[in-house]
Amino acid sequence: MRRRNWRVVFTGALLVVLAAGFFAFMLTMAPKSNDPAAMMQTVGQVSGVAGAIGLVMFVFGLIGKRSG
């Protein structure tokens, strides 16, 4: 039987939400930038990495570890 690690699940979900929120916030700042395309490319990469790490944490937290 496996025990779920709820702290990792909640942290991963929070990280995904924060990454999406950061992307949405920076989307509103793009028109004020000198180079909005380059800025959004960087923001997209950062948000994507943070979201992917959060998703991996979420999945591994749900899988859990063996109780022994």
Q: What are the domain boundaries of the chain?
A: 2-66
Query: Quick one: pLDDT band at residue 21, thresholds 50, 70, 90?
Result: very high
The model's pLDDT over 27-65, given as tens digits with 9 standing for 90+, comes to 999 999 999 999 999 999 999 999 999 999 999 999 988
Question: How much is the pLDDT for 67?
Answer: 80
Q: What are phi and psi of 3, to 5 degrees?
A: -105, 130
Residue 68 has pLDDT above 80, yes or no: no
Question: How much is the pLDDT for 7?
Answer: 97
Task: State the DSSP string of 3-61.
Answer: E--HHHHHHHHHHHHHHHHHHHHHHHHGGGSSSHHHHHHHHHHHHHHHHHHHHHHHHHH
Amino acid at 41: Q
